């Protein structure tokens, strides 16, 4: 098939490369010449494990092409994927301006064959119907289109694996012809198929992300109970998770969830509920607990660091990505700067994105130990694997005061005690 992707972020580029790898002819449309030139040269712009190799392979085979020009790609495509961002507006709604703008442009360039417009962007219920109206109003007389909602469930950091091994493929669509085409396109990929209506598909995505956020906030709430009572959150959640009805997965307490999806999708669902006159206190509480987890952690730093010179390891919102959108690190660094802390930071791939936020207000290091010189606290915000088995003796020697404040519970408190560290983690007894 010939396909077009509009948008080349974590969803658009990864899915485009995988579908090209299956032998399809794939166009990717962007909106800045500079980025298109980089992509054409094999630079994926974002950091996602395995993506550079997949991009190179398919560029070489001429199965993936990048352009700014809709006319080059759309008329010959059987399926056009919309994969542009839907960030939060100031009020918390999903900003749909990019989605509607590209829908208009697609309509103007449709070919004479039937085209399926498949929306991968996360959009509130009713948006795909609006896309349909835009297409019908703006398209030429000799063209025919159908709209489908194909929400995406990939996680950054394991985007290629998730796309190839999904739990389910959701296709929301009123047109059998379009649904069949999408089913055929996904044939090489396993996973349950859920073919449904547009509204259900749109709501499935928000429900899934709100449920994931609920699990994390619940784990964080229980960690507050543990810290006040002397219980150990890992023991509590491990035991509770043995109940198959509950499970342990995605219940790791920490510094709160971040990223480009969970926070904005919980807010957008809350706004959707408000517009529908549904009580959304529950969703607001999920968001509030997430903020509390970050504030609670900041307080641990303010209460325990012996000087205002501290080090942060891990800046991205999770490991194996360079993405710092709504990363807890941004919130925590801002709070520490307000309190006049001097901050040295290290992250394997997230430095350049954090530099755009804080410039020279903090110090950046390419070596984790270098960042620890004279530091009174090592603060861990992302559980990168390379932090799990560091040289703790070297850390202790390099720091001014041997204090670790661990927002991801990656170290064993007993070992910390044995090595003479002060150690604060989440929902576990502190080692003083
Ligand atoms: C999420 C969904 O998982 C994915 O299905 C959807 O398509 C997009 O949004 P992503 O944002 O890439 O994916 O990251 P995810 O792995 O869900 O983690 C989100 C945040 O939650 C991270 O900040 C992570 O550190 C945090 N988290 C996750 C926890 O704090 N505890 C957990 O148990 C799991």
Q: 244 C-alpha vs ligand 1 centroid, how far in Å?
A: 21
Asked whether 250 lines ligand 1 (CB < 6 A), one says: yes
Please state, rounded to an integer, the average pLDDT across all residues of the chain: 97
Q: 188 C-alpha vs ligand 1 centroid, how far in Å?
A: 26
What pLDDT score was predicted for residue 386? Answer: 97
Rounded distance between C-alpha atoms, residue 383 and residue 58, angstroms: 32
Same fold, 2-196 and 221-424: yes
The yes-or-no verdict on residue 409 having pLDDT over 90 is: yes
Q: 317 C-alpha vs ligand 1 centroid, how far in Å?
A: 9
pLDDT tens profile 247-305: 999 999 999 999 999 999 999 999 999 999 999 999 999 999 999 999 999 999 999 99
Q: Is 127 part of any known ligand binding site?
A: no
Tokens 């360039």 identify what position? 109
Tell the residue nearest (CA) to atom 20 of ligand 1: 257
pLDDT tens profile 325-366: 999 999 999 999 999 999 999 999 999 999 999 999 999 999
Please enumerate in sequence order all residues whose Cβ is within 8 A of that of 111, keeping only pairs 6 or more positions apart, or say none.
Answer: 74, 75, 76, 77, 143
Q: How confident is the model at residue 140 (pLDDT cuts 50, 70, 90)?
A: confident
Q: How confident is the model at residue 142 (pLDDT cuts 50, 70, 90)?
A: confident
Q: Which atom of ligand 1 is nearest to the CA of 327?
A: 23
Cα dihedral sign, 68-72-74-77: negative
Q: Is 155 part of any known ligand binding site?
A: yes
Q: Out of 259, 260, 297, give the residue to mutate to test ligand 1, the one with the largest number of ligand atoms within 8 Å of its CB.
A: 259
Q: How confident is the model at residue 164 (pLDDT cuts 50, 70, 90)?
A: very high
Q: Out of 86, 219, 318, give the residue to mutate to test ligand 1, the one with the largest number of ligand atoms within 8 Å of its CB.
A: 318
Asked whether 48 lines ligand 1 (CB < 6 A), one says: no
Helix (H) or strand (E) holding 6: strand 2-6
Tokens 């709160």 identify what position? 256
Rounded distance between C-alpha atoms, residue 402 and residue 420, angstroms: 8
Please enumerate in sequence order all residues whose Cβ is within 8 A of that of 230, keeping only pairs 6 or more positions apart, or say none.
Answer: 429
Helix (H) or strand (E) holding 429: none
The yes-or-no verdict on residue 141 having pLDDT over 90 is: no
What pLDDT score was predicted for residue 403? Answer: 98
Tell the residue nearest (CA) to atom 3 of ligand 1: 155
pLDDT tens profile 84-135: 999 999 999 999 999 999 999 999 999 999 999 999 999 999 999 999 999 9
Q: Is 164 part of any known ligand binding site?
A: no
Q: What is the mean pLDDT of residues 30-53?
A: 97
Tokens 């301006």 identify what position? 97
Q: 152 C-alpha vs ligand 1 centroid, how far in Å?
A: 13
Asked whether 254 lines ligand 1 (CB < 6 A), one says: yes
Q: Which CATH class is domain 221-424?
A: alpha beta
The yes-or-no verdict on residue 323 having pLDDT over 90 is: yes
Please say whether the beta carbons of 244 and 251 come within 8 A. no
Tokens 């619940």 identify what position? 218
Asked whether 322 lines ligand 1 (CB < 6 A), one says: no
Q: Out of 9, 221, 261, 407, give the residue to mutate to test ligand 1, the one with the largest number of ligand atoms within 8 Å of its CB.
A: 261
Q: 257 C-alpha vs ligand 1 centroid, how far in Å?
A: 7
Distances (CA, A) of 272 to 89, 146, 192, 380: 13, 25, 28, 35
Q: What is the mean pLDDT of residues 6-19?
A: 98
Q: 262 C-alpha vs ligand 1 centroid, how far in Å?
A: 7
Distances (CA, A) of 151 to 84, 198, 204, 302, 382: 12, 10, 8, 41, 27
Architecture of domain 2-196: 3-Layer(aba) Sandwich (3.40)
Asked whether 156 lines ligand 1 (CB < 6 A), one says: yes
What pLDDT score was predicted for residue 49? Answer: 97
Q: How confident is the model at residue 319 (pLDDT cuts 50, 70, 90)?
A: very high
Asked whether 259 lines ligand 1 (CB < 6 A), one says: yes
Distances (CA, A) of 252 to 235, 297, 317, 407, 409: 12, 15, 14, 11, 9
Could you give the percent of the chain with pLDDT greater than 90? 99
CB atoms within 10 A of CB 202: 25
Q: Which atom of ligand 1 is nearest to the CA of 318?
A: 25
Domain boundaries defined on the chain: 2-196, 221-424
The yes-or-no verdict on residue 205 having pLDDT over 90 is: yes
List of E strands, 12-97: 25-29, 64-67, 79-82
**What dihedral do alpha carbons 387, 388, 392, 396 form, nearest 10°?**
50
What pLDDT score was predicted for residue 344? Answer: 98
**Residues with catalytic function:** 261
Q: Is 38 part of any known ligand binding site?
A: no
């Amino acid at each position: 098939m010939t396909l077009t992707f509009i948008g080349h972020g974590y969803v658009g580029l990864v899915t485009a490369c995988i579908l090209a790898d299956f032998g399809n002819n794939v166009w990717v449309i962007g909106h800045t010449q500079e980025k298109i030139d980089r992509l054409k040269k094999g630079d994926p712009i974002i950091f996602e494990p395995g993506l550079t190799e997949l991009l190179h392979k398919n560029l070489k085979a001429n199965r993936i092409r990048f352009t700014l020009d809709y006319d080059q790609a759309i008329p010959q495509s059987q399926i056009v994927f919309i994969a542009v961002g839907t960030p939060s507006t100031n009020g918390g709604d999903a900003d749909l301006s990019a989605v509607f703008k590209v829908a208009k442009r697609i309509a103007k360039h449709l070919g004479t064959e039937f085209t399926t417009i498949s929306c991968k962007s996360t959009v509130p219920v009713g948006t795909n119907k609006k896309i349909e109206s835009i297409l019908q109003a703006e398209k030429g007389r000799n063209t025919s289109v159908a709209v489908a909602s194909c929400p995406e469930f990939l996680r950054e950091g394991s985007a290629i694996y998730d796309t190839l091994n999904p739990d389910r493929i959701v296709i929301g669509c009123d047109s059998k012809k379009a649904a069949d085409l999408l089913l055929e396109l996904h044939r090489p990929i396993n996973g349950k198929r859920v073919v449904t209506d547009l509204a259900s598909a749109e709501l499935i995505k928000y429900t899934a992300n709100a449920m994931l956020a609920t699990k994390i906030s619940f784990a964080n709430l229980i960690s507050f109970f543990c810290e006040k009572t002397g219980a150990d959150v890992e023991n509590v959640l491990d035991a509770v998770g043995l109940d198959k009805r509950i499970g342990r997965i995605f219940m790791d307490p920490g510094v709160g969830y971040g990223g480009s999806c969970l926070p904005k999708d919980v807010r957008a669902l809350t706004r959707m509920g408000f517009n529908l006159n549904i009580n959304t206190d529950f969703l607001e509480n999920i968001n509030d607990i997430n903020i509390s987890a970050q504030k609670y952690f900041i307080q641990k730093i303010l209460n325990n660091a012996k000087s205002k010179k501290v080090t942060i390891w891990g800046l991205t919102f999770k490991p194996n990505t360079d993405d710092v959108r709504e990363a807890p690190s941004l919130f925590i660094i801002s709070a520490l700067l307000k309190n006049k802390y001097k901050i040295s930071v290290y992250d394997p791939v997230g430095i350049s994105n954090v530099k755009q936020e804080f410039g020279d207000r903090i110090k950046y290091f390419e070596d984790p130990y270098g960042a620890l010189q004279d530091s009174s606290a090592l603060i861990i915000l992302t559980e990168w694997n390379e932090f799990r088995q560091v040289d703790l003796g070297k850390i202790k020697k390099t720091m001014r005061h041997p204090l670790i404040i661990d927002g991801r519970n990656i170290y064993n408190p007993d070992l910390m005690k044995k090595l003479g560290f002060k150690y604060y983690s989440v929902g576990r007894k502190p080692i003083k």
